[in-house]
Structure 1
Amino acid sequence: MGTGSIWHWVIVLLVIVLLFGAKRIPELAKGLGSGVKNFKKAIKEDDEDQEKITQNTQSKPQSENIQSTESTSEQKH
């Protein structure tokens, strides 16, 4: 009689079908799937951007990094 009982899942599915209707369930699943897909895509793009930033800062000579930091701090004041 735990949460994994087949009868519990049957009752849950019946309640979902009654609340949303049989026609709307595939639409909800499709929307959920596309939302997850877009979320994963955004995370992947963010990781790629972070890698590019890291590569750009590592490829610059140390003097350029210092100069760019000094110029941005001067612009703030």
Structure 2
Amino acid sequence: MGLGGISIWQLLIILAIVLLLFGAKRLRNVGSDLGEAIKGFKKSVREGEEEKPAEADKPQLKESADDAIEGEVTSKDKKEV
């Protein structure tokens, strides 16, 4: 028994048919393109995970006059004084 009830001989016959239809060169190109796509996806996932903690550690410094509570001294008020 092979994968899901498919024997080794059946897999070899399927492989031979695919090779006849597409050719070895074209299958190699498809395989390398697929490998590069997977590498790029993994790299972008890794970079995304590295950016999230860095963004969470940064304090939120953006404050507008509308967000300030009455009576609270803002950086805009400090400049006017």
Superposed structure 1 runs of 4+ greater than 3 Å apart: none
Within-5 A mapping of 1:1-77: 2-3=5-6, 5-56=7-58, 60=59, 65=60, 68=62, 71=64
* Identical-residue share of aligned pairs (%): 38
Which residues of structure 1 form unaligned runs of 5+?
A: none
Q: Which has the higher helix share?
A: 1
Query: Amino acid of the residue matched to residue 36 of structure 1?
Result: I
In 1, Cα distance between equivalents of 2:54 and 2:14: 47
**TM-score, normalization by structure 1:** 0.67
Aligned length: 63
Query: Amino acid of the residue matched to residue 49 of structure 2?
Result: D
Query: Amino acid of the residue matched to residue 17 of structure 1?
Result: L
Structure with bigger RCO (C-alpha 8 Å, 6+ apart): 1
Which residues of structure 2 form unaligned runs of 5+?
A: 68-81
